[in-house]
């Protein structure tokens, strides 16, 4: 029987991340052959991975990296099965090592095929599945390029990337602020212009139906009814719609007996309220139309504009 030294076991452990006993057993089985021991551990990982293929890896770590000149960033989620593993220092270290590699690739497929210490990233995932004993996978991969890219990660649960129109002295601060917005408020689009008209139409019908149903119950209870919007997105508010809304507002002011000479002071507020009441989808899902979490008196778009910048794009990843 070949004598296995502690130094050899430690070397294998450093190389693979496997436990001391697993490394010793692999070296004994390989009769001291280091490469063969790695292969034994890898096969063990394949067996564990096959057994746990149908498991859900909804825990883990979200991490992001930005390159040295802030022109590209990547956000990934390294998934596992339990919160205990997801918070482990070795697991977080592995997630960050993966992100460093991911930064060099534009898509998940090429990233998984990339080299990781003599094996592919995909093979490393299988190996670590055997080491950890849980399904380990890349659950999300997002890449973003822009004149300036900033990032924010919320307690390794949510990662966000934000692209800005140029690199300025305040770009890092603005990008972080907006990335925090993306992480916390979960926008799905940059502006209402990105919506599919069919989606807006279907969502309008669904939302109106819900409000009308709620109003039946509110009416039965004698409570104030909710406003039923005609529209839910700026995409629907054409010049004709705005003109009609202004006519209605003037008719309302006339009915209230308000002097015509003061209408110009009242109309802007009424029109602003009309737009607010009829763009709820934009306010919920469009990043630039959301209320800025650091100052709800302004939108995210207003905040970024006030800093002399524009948001060119964003990406978000999260556990689950």
Are 236 and 255 in a shared domain? yes
Residue 197 lies in a domain: yes
Range of the domain at 165: 59-191
Name the E strands within 84-216: 115-116, 119-120, 137-145, 148-154, 158-164
Question: Residue 15: inside a domain, yes or no?
Answer: yes
Reported as a single tens digit per residue, the pLDDT across 271-298 is 999 999 999 999 999 999 999 999 999 9
Is there a single domain that holds both residue 10 and residue 70? no
- Mapped onto helix, strand or coil, the DSSP state of residue 309 is coil
Tally the domains of the chain: 3
CATH code: domain of residue 63: 3.30.479.20
Largest CA distance in the chain: 104
Same domain as 256, residue 184: no
What is the band of 47 on the pLDDT scale with cuts at 50, 70, 90?
Answer: low
Residues 131 and 181 in one domain: yes
Shared domain for 99 and 35, answered yes or no, is: no
**What would the two tokens of residue 243 be?**
């003109």
pLDDT in tens, 164-217: 999 999 999 999 999 999 999 989 999 999 999 999 999 999 999 999 999 999
Residues 240 and 229: their CA atoms lie apart, in Å, by 17
Task: Tell whether 157 and 220 lie within a shared domain.
Answer: no
For tokens 């995932």, the residue is 125
Residue where a domain terminates, one of 191, 222, 249: 191
Whether the Cβ atoms of residue 204 and residue 232 lie closer than 8 Å to each other: yes
């Amino acid at each position: 029987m070949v004598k296995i030294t502690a130094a050899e076991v430690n070397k294998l452990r450093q190389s693979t991340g496997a436990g001391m006993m697993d490394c010793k057993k692999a070296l004994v089985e390989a009769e001291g052959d280091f490469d063969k021991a790695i292969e034994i551990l890898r096969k063990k990982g394949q067996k564990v991975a096959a057994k746990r293929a149908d498991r859900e890896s909804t825990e883990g770590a979200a991490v992001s990296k930005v390159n040295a000149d802030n022109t590209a960033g990547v956000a990934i989620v390294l998934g596992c099965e339990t919160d205990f593993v997801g918070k482990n220092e070795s697991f977080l270290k592995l997630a960050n090592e993966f992100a460093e590699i991911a930064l060099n690739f534009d898509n998940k497929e090429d990233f998984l095929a990339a080299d990781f210490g003599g094996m592919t990233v995909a093979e490393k995932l299988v190996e670590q599945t055997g080491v950890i004993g849980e399904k380990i996978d890349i659950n999300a991969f997002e890449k973003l390029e822009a004149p300036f890219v900033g990032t924010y990660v919320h307690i390794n649960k949510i990662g966000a990337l934000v692209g800005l129109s140029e690199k300025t002295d305040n770009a890092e601060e603005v990008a972080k602020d907006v990335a925090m917005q993306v992480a916390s408020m979960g926008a799905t689009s940059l502006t209402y212009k990105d919506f599919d008209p069919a989606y807006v139409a279907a969502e309008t019908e669904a939302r109106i139906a819900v409000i009308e149903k709620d109003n039946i119950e509110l009416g039965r209870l004698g409570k104030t009814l909710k406003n039923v919007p005609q529209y839910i997105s700026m995409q629907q508010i054409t010049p004709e719609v705005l003109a009609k809304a202004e006519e209605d507002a003037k008719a309302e002011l006339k009915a209230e007996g308000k002097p015509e000479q003061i209408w110009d002071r009242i109309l802007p507020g009424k029109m602003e309220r009309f737009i607010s009441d009829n763009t709820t989808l934009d306010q919920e899902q469009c990043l630039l139309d959301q209320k800025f979490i650091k100052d709800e008196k302004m939108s995210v778009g207003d905040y970024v504009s006030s800093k002399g910048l524009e948001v060119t794009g964003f990406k978000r990843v999260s556990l689950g």
